[in-house]
């Protein structure tokens, strides 16, 4: 599959079957080339400052307005009700989420979240589990952006902009209002971070300089591809709107965009391209140095959500406890594991599972990790080789859904026991060693 390169770039693409489909010199001519319709997709208010202004123009066979009325459909385990169950401030860990059999409920399952889609401020964290592709169906999120993290099974995402193949160890972002359909090739599972009211952007680099972390050139956008396909039995558009699902019918494929241009696109990124920065002297640097993407709040330096990874890297810090430190955080930390073993908890935290350390809930290395790394010989070593863990970190105090706490039946109620063996090493007679 071919892609266009760059993050937030002004891009254009034509399906090669229709050369010259993009109008010259204007967006909305009286008659578009090939008899197409011009349609704008706005990802920001018209009057946003230029650096934040997001929009794209489609040139399509039929406009998206041609559909029957939307009607409510069951939302399953997808929810924005953060008051289903009482709050739970405990450290939470989930065993790998179950992928359903062909006859069981599949799709999106909300684990936790906060805020409100109506007021355009908040987040939702979902698991997707499925084993069948979407046939003559597409999804449209009117509430916010989806950051999708495949964990098992590659997914082929068809969008109005073109196609993207996304494999485990890659991520993709489908921004608000973009219609997409997913093909899978067997049992498939992954994580979704949804943000309302902000778009993901690259974090500022500050004194790091002009290069580093996720470099813009490594983000890939699809190239134009269309199908002119009538669907006599009806094509279903699923719309997530104000936390609920609605469906409408139309008699044609929505993937009928022959050409497009703009800076509001879906995109994907391979996590192996992340340029890792780490401590090379002493102490454990804060995990913000591993931020791939951020959705900023209105408060400087405070994110609605950050997407952070813990990639393979070198650990070389001298006279330092190298794993993550013990921590209480004013942010909420949801972690997932794509593959491998997370360094601070090599047992129990499994690929396809998750953990949530809520606002000000203590967390840190388990007892085995502490004992081993307090006495380890400190020589240069590879950390997280063959592993990719990640974190959705948010300034929101997230509520866990009934599905997350009860229905999924994957909550590991023995999680707290990994810290039980921690013992006191306090010695009131300790004296500093002589130089």
Task: Name the E strands within 340-420.
Answer: 354-357, 381-383, 388-394, 399-400
Length of the chain: 435
What's the distance, CA 235 to chain centroid? 27
326 is in an annotated binding site: no
- From edge to edge, which strands make up the β-sheet containing 332-339? 92-94, 354-357, 332-339, 388-394, 303-310, 291-296
Give me the residue label for tokens 């385990």: 77
Pairing state of beta strands 399-400 and 137-141? unpaired
Element (H, E) at 371: helix 367-375
Residue 199 is assigned to a ligand binding site? no
Buried b (16+ CB within 10 A) or exposed e, 254-264: bbbbbbbbbbb
Residue 425 marked in a binding site: no
CB within 8 Å of 96: residues ≥ 6 apart: 189, 350, 351, 352, 353, 410
Cα–Cα distances in angstroms (integers) from residue 3 to residues 143, 183, 281, 293, in the given order? 27, 18, 40, 20
Angle ∠(20,140,125) on CA atoms, nearest 5:
130
The residue with tokens 């388990």 is 366
Q: What is the H or E stretch that residue 404 is in?
A: none
- Using CA atoms, how far apart are residues 20 and 60, in angstroms rounded to an integer? 13
DSSP one-letter string for 52-117: G--EEEEEESS-TT-SPPPEEE--TB----TTSS----S-EEEPPPPPPPTTS--EEEEEEEEEET
Beta bridge partners of 168: none
Active site annotation includes 261: no
194 labeled binding residue:
no
**CA dihedral defined by 96, 154, 193, 90, rounded to 10 degrees?**
10
Cα radius of gyration (the chain)? 23
Percentage helix, strand, coil for the chain under 3-state DSSP, each rounded to 5? 10, 40, 50
Could you give the CA distance from residue 331 to residue 304 in angstroms, rounded to a whole number? 10
Which of these is catalytic: 199, 284, 341, 357?
284
- CA distances in angstroms from 23 to 31, 146, 252, listed in the order given: 9, 31, 24
* Residue of 323, 417, 321, 422 whose CA lies nearest to 368: 422
| Binding-site residues from annotation for Fe cation | 327, 333, 363
| Binding-site residues from annotation for homogentisate | 342, 363
| Binding-site residues from annotation | 327, 333, 342, 363
Catalytic sites, residue numbers? 284
């Amino acid at each position: 599959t071919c892609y266009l390169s760059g993050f937030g770039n002004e891009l254009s693409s034509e399906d090669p079957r229709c050369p010259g489909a993009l109008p010259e010199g204007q967006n909305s001519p009286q008659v578009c080339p090939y008899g197409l319709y011009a349609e704008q997709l706005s990802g920001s208010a018209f009057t946003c400052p230029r650096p934040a202004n997001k929009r794209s123009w489609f040139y399509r066979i039929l406009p998206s307005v041609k559909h029957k009325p939307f009607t409510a459909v069951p939302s399953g385990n997808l929810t924005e009700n953060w008051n289903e169950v009482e709050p739970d401030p405990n450290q939470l860990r989930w065993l790998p989420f179950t992928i359903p059999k062909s006859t069981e409920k599949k799709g999106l399952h909300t684990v936790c979240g906060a805020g409100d889609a109506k007021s355009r401020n908040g987040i939702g964290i979902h698991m997707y589990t499925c084993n069948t592709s979407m046939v003559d169906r597409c999804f449209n999120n009117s509430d916010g952006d989806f950051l999708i993290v495949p964990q098992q099974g590659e997914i082929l995402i068809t969008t109005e902009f073109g196609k993207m193949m996304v494999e485990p160890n890659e991520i993709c972002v489908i921004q608000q209002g973009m219609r997409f359909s997913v093909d899978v090739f067997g049992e498939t599972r992954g994580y979704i971070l949804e943000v309302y009211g902000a778009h993901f952007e690259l974090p500022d680099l500050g004194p790091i300089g002009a290069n580093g972390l996720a470099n813009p050139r490594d983000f890939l956008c699809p190239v134009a591809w269309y199908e002119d396909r009538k669907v006599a039995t009806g094509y279903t558009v699923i719309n997530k709107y104000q936390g609920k699902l609605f469906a409408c019918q139309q008699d044609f494929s929505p993937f009928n965009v022959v050409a497009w241009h703009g800076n509001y696109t879906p995109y994907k990124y391979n996590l192996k391209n992340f340029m890792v920065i780490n401590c090379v002297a002493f102490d454990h640097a804060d995990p913000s140095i591993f931020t791939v993407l951020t959705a900023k709040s209105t408060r400087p330096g405070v994110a609605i959500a950050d997407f952070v990874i813990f990639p393979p890297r070198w650990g070389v810090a001298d006279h330092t406890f190298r794993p993550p430190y013990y921590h209480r955080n004013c942010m909420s930390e949801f972690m997932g594991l794509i593959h491998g073993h997370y360094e601070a908890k090599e047992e129990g935290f499994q690929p396809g599972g998750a953990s949530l350390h809520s606002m000000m809930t203590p967390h840190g290395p388990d007892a085995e990790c502490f004992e081993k790394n307090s006495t380890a010989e400190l020589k240069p070593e590879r950390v997280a080789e063959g592993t990719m863990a990640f974190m959705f970190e948010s300034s929101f105090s997230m509520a866990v859904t009934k599905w997350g706490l009860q229905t999924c039946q994957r909550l590991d109620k023995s999680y707290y026991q990994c810290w039980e063996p921690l013992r006191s090493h306090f010695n009131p007679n300790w004296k500093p060693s002589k130089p």
